[in-house]
Every structure is written in structure tokens, then in C-alpha cells.
A and B are shown apart, each in its own frame.
Chain A
């Protein structure tokens, strides 16, 4: 399974004075089992891009291939595609509406035409994946905590058995512990259920810690696409785009500026601690 975007252009407002070229010549391939972080400032085209992935927006130009098939070819099963590529919007808990948790999570699979017991089986599996046990099935989704609501909303998409899951800022508004729980959950989905993940995030720290590939959007085009360490080494360019490097990156740079011979490519807390200790040790030996 892979999804491939070939020379995607998306232009809206054509024929008016407000023509916007929202996506420019996008070439991306996301392979089975990848965990991709998608970053970019507000208005950089991230959301437009992810809406192309599950067929919510049709490109003005270019092709999207899922498993080698053009999703806009005649006779392509778009409904099936939307269950294959699940999209979790920002603040997905605002879309909970059913009387209890289980019914809410059943909504997606039922809509796909599954029988009640099949839908329930898939819903229960999805709820187990997000760590919501049987004791929650009959609870009203509105009585849950913020973090729990969000997990139920994610389960609602997982219940359609997607091969790829796109999450648009799934940790926005959560407390630090809640953020961690959601990120661990997402990371576990890839490990346990083999789901390909695209994480849209404004937190450079979270991206550095969890994903294995970062795509940076700027002004509707892909500015960088690579391993986190490589992408975050472009510190000044990222800042010009309204982004940043993870905070630890600034810390190690500052320490080096102050004369500590420390490596400056650390992007996680553990790497930075290790590098600083190594540099201090080397300095101690040098002084002896």
C-alpha cells in the first residue's frame, strides 16, 4: 500500500480577483507503515494537502494514486478510499453526537453498509486500540474527559479499518500528560495495527520525538522532505517559514556558542543530554 501524489496543483477562486494557488507541483509518495510528520505555518497548505489524500478535495491538476490506482479514474470506489484513508480533524470530539460511546464509534462502519453486529465488532476493536474498555461503551460521550473524548473520536475513524490515518493536530488543547498519551497511542497504532500515520503538528518537539520522516510545507509547496535530524538542521530557513527547530536544538547551539564542544544536531531531550555529557567528559579529560 502506498499513496502517491504526482504533480498536484490546486487553484481556487479562478475567474475572480482572488485566485489562490494553494498547492504547487506536489510530488510525494508515502509508503506502507511510515510515520510522517507534516509541518508548516498556518496557511502553508498542510490542510489542503491532507484533504487531497482522502479525496475531499479534487486537484486542479495532477494525479493521486492509491495502491497504484488513480483515485479519480472512472469507477474508482471513493467511498472505500475514504475508509482506507481515515482523516481525524482538529478537535474531533466536537463531532461526537450519539447517546453512548459504542453507538458513536459504530456510526462510521454502519455508514459503510456493515450490518449491526459487524459494525459493533469493528467499533469494539477500535475502542480497544485507543484504550477505552467495555466500561465506557454505554457512557455518554459528553460525560468523558477531554482526552477520553478525543480518543473516542479517533476510534470512530479507526472503526472503518483505515490503512492510513491522518491526524490534524490531535494534541491541540490537551494538557502535557494528555498530549503524551495521544502521541503514544498514535505511535502504538502503527506498531500494533500496522497503520500508516500522517501527523499534522505545530509542535516541533513532538515531531522530532515520534516521526521518522518530516514533510515541511511552505507557500503551498514542499520545502523539505526527509529525516527529522536532516530537516531540523535547516534552522534559519525554518524560522523564516514561521516554524522552528525543537527547543533542545537551540539549547545545544547556545552551549556551543559559549565554548562547549558539543554536537549540535540533537533534536530530542535524550540525544541532547547524551551529547552534553560526552562534551563535558571530553573537556574534563582535556583539562587533565
Chain B
């Protein structure tokens, strides 16, 4: 009976990632090692990400985005408040490995994340570390490489791939660990236009096709117009939250937070300023076409 109750409770958890009054502080030391002051990088953040969502996190440099991201797979632990990943408190040491298995991370620099000599070995590395049986690793590697469109490169050396291809290999490596959630921390910052498109397409594919929760941190506004929800960080706090349309309707506020608008939204805003009657928060060319009555 108890077991059944526990199972049904577990199934009812829709939230993959939840934080309550999350605080992260670190001490600033002077040259002698004395405490000079305490910096609060994350300041009482409440987040709730549902399974299968595509969530974007925006914020200027130093706003706390990356620090927040590192709490999502137990790379950092809260100094106040709580983080739950799939219902598990990340602050409890016994949960660390399970948390990391559920939430994988991909970082900015494609050259810092690849270790294998051959693409398929690199992709299998994480799963191997989890103790997945060899045969299953190869199955997972194949699946993951297909999911990001890199299967034909499986026998290549990662050194000869483009930036966008390397990032997709990194994503495949996380996928092979069968996570429920992938956190991408500025995955396109160093890529050329094609690379950026490839990585965003791969991330959207994982979300749409595989149902994996995606948390995308970025400085490129155009990458997140399809997100289910957007959080904007400032000084360690959540300054704005809402759908992309709600967020991108607030032009002045966004600019005061050192952010910008997607190009189409910016153009529509400019046309509106010049006297055209257009709604706020136009996100795609198709919406602009419609609003202009074409």
C-alpha cells in the first residue's frame, strides 16, 4: 500500500526542476585570505520547470544565469533554500549522482568538452561512467548521434568538426546518459551562423521529438522565440517571467536590463514608432506579414 502511494506520488510530480528561495553566496577574500565581503550571486529564486518544457533564461553578464544553471545538476549547492531535480533535493549528498544523471549540461566552448579521439567514443563516455553495459552503450550512442544529426560522423575525429558539429556531439554525449533534462549554457556563443542554427535545431528536436526538457541560457534573442517560458535574471533575482510574447512586449524594461529584442520584434517596434498600427510582441515574420495585412 505504502509503495503504491509512493509510486503514484512520484508519477504526479510534473515538475522536473524546482527551486524555492534559492540563495547562493560566496565569500570574497583579500590577499591574506581574510573575508572581505559576501557576494550573493543568487538571491531567493523560485523556479518551477515542468517536464517537457522548453525554458529560456536570459540576463546580462553577471546576472547570475550560469550560477543558477550549475545548481541544476548539482555542480553547485545552495547556501540557502532548496533545489529539487525530479523531486530529489540536490543538497543531499546521496542524490548527487542521480541528479547528474537526470540533468545534463552543455557549455559554451565546444573545444573544452570533447575528450574522445573518435566521435562515437566521446559520446559514449558519460554513459560508460554511469556503468551502463557495453552493448547498451553502443545502442545509446547510435540513438543519440541520430537525434542530433551526427550519425554519419561517428567514426570521425572530433578535431576536424566545425564548432556547431562539436556542440552537437557534446549534446549527444549528454543524451546518451538518458537525462530528463538538458541545460545548455550559451551553447552558440562561439559559433558561426550555420553552427548556431544547427545547435538550436537540435535542441528543439530533442524537446519536440524526444520530449526532453530543455533549459537554454543565451544572449541571442532570436533563439528563444519558440520557448514555452522565459525567465529574465538581474542581480541574482528573477526580474521578469512569461511567454516570449509577454517578455518581448516590454521593450523598455528589457533594454534597461541590458537585453535586446529579436530582429523581427525590433523592426515591428521601429515601424510602430514611425506611426504604423501594429500590436506589441510580434515574434515571427509571418506574424508581421499578417499584422501588415499582406
Contacts and interface: CB of A to CB of B under 8 A. Distances in A.
Do A and B make up one complex? yes
Contacts of B260: 176-177
Contacts of A242: 162, 192-195
B29 to A, nearest CB: 12
A222 B162 CA distance: 19
B10 to A, nearest CB: 39
B219 A174 contact: yes
Interface in B213-263: 219, 221-222, 255, 258-260, 263
A172 B294 contact: no
A173 B220 CA distance: 10
Interface in B138-185: 162-164
Contacts of B162: 41-43, 242
Contact of A276 (B62, B221, B271): B271
B206 to A, nearest CB: 22
Contacts of B264: 247, 251
A269 B294 contact: no
Interface stretch (A27-35, A186-194, A252-260): A252-260
Contacts of A247: 222, 263-264
Given A42-B163, A147-B61, A244-B193, A176 B292 contact: no
Contacts of B186: 173
A110 to B, nearest CB: 23
Given A42-B192, A254-B285, A258-B294, A273 B61 contact: no
Given A146-B62, A255-B294, A270-B270, A172 B263 contact: no
Nearest to A18: B160
Interface string A274-286: 0011001000000
B192 A243 contact: yes
A248 B263 contact: yes
B115 interface: no
A172 B190 contact: yes
B288 A243 contact: no
Contacts of A43: 162
B289 interface: yes
B192 A202 contact: yes
B259 A204 contact: no
A145 B235 CA distance: 13
Interface in A221-265: 239, 242-244, 246-248, 250-251, 254-255, 258-260
B193 A273 contact: no
A173 B285 contact: no
A150 to B, nearest CB: 10
B219 A176 contact: yes
Interface residues of B, number: 37
Contacts of B255: 177
Contact of B289 (A244, A250, A254): A254
A42 B195 contact: yes
A205 B193 CA distance: 11
A254 B289 CA distance: 8
Interface string B94-137: 00000000000000100000000000000000000000000000
A179 B219 CA distance: 10
B258 A255 contact: no
Interface string A98-138: 00000000000000000000000000000000000000000
Contact of B288 (A174, A205, A255, A259): A255
B189 interface: yes
Nearest to B188: A202
B294 A260 contact: yes
Nearest to A39: B192
Contacts of A269: 263, 266-267, 270
A119 B167 CA distance: 42
A178 interface: yes
B28 to A, nearest CB: 9
B259 A177 contact: yes
A41 B192 contact: yes
Contact of A204 (B163, B193, B276): B193
Nearest to A41: B192
A176 B267 contact: no
B263 A177 contact: no
A178 B61 contact: yes
A175 B285 contact: no
Interface of B: 59-62, 108, 162-164, 186, 189-196, 219, 221-222, 255, 258-260, 263-264, 266-267, 270-271, 274, 276, 285, 288-289, 292, 294
22 contacts: A146-B61, A172-B189, A172-B190, A173-B108, A173-B190, A176-B258, A176-B260, A177-B255, A178-B60, A202-B191, A202-B193, A243-B193, A247-B222, A250-B285, A254-B289, A255-B285, A255-B289, A260-B292, A260-B294, A269-B266, A273-B267, A280-B292
Interface of A: 40-43, 90, 145-147, 169, 172-179, 202, 204-205, 239, 242-244, 246-248, 250-251, 254-255, 258-260, 269-270, 272-273, 276-277, 280
Given A41-B193, A243-B194, A254-B285, 7 more contacts: A145-B61, A146-B61, A172-B189, A175-B61, A177-B259, A273-B274, A277-B274
